[in-house]
Structure 1
Amino acid sequence: MGAVADTIEAKLKAAFSPTRLELVDDSDRHNGHAGHREGGESHFNLTIEAQAFAGKPRVARQRLIFQALSEEMAGPVHALSIVALAPGES
């Protein structure tokens, strides 16, 4: 993956110490759509599992992630699909 993905992973690891972190660059599927950039790294799918999400509703989990990635969401990342889980959830 590229620099944007590396930054996203580093920030999420620092913020949440996840037990699972899967980040997939899905930009190629959005070629010709809004926000697509040559070279990719504009659309991502994220699956993250962390204790920090335990007891929090889905929207609160997403807000925490967007807060941690505020710079990326304001810049190079156009879309981020999120599955945020607490340990033991599927």
Structure 2
Amino acid sequence: MSTKADRIRAALGALSPTHLDVLDESHMHSRGLETHYKAVVVSEVFDGTSPVRRHQAVYAAVGGLMGEIHALALHTYTPQEWAQQEGGAPDSPGCMGGSKHDRA
């Protein structure tokens, strides 16, 4: 049985990524399991495209899976941009719906 993260990874393969990370960050939020993800996608497909077009390409690749998750933090790079990233992609922001970790 594959996880939702596995299904997202498989779908993003359509973008021919040279680097791909899909992290399940649901544990940081209060909406339940398999609800919050972070995707770092590095692909030549993004060369010469705006951030909006890159995100649209990711959404198109992920397709109907988007209806099954609450949040997907996207970090999209060309291989050249990724080579300049020191320390990788930034941390995902906290969920505006609150986090399990916010409760005392």
Give the TM-score category using the shorter length.
0.7 to 0.9
Identity %: 32
1:27 is matched with 26
2: CA distance, partners of 1:18 / 1:69: 14
Q: Which runs of 5+ in 2 are unaligned?
A: 86-104
Q: What amino acid does structure 2 have at the position aligned with 1:79?
A: A
The structural deviation recorded for 1:65 is 0.4
1:17 is matched with 16
- The counterpart of 1:86, out of the listed 78, 81, 86, is 78
Q: Which has the larger radius of gyration?
A: 2
The reply to whether residue 59 of structure 1 matches residue 52 of structure 2 is: yes
Q: Which runs of 5+ in 1 are unaligned?
A: none
* Aligned CA-pair RMSD: 1.1
The structural deviation recorded for 1:83 is 0.4
1: CA distance, partners of 2:11 / 2:65: 10
TM-score normalised to structure 1 length: 0.84
TM-score normalised to structure 2 length: 0.73
2: CA distance, partners of 1:6 / 1:73: 14
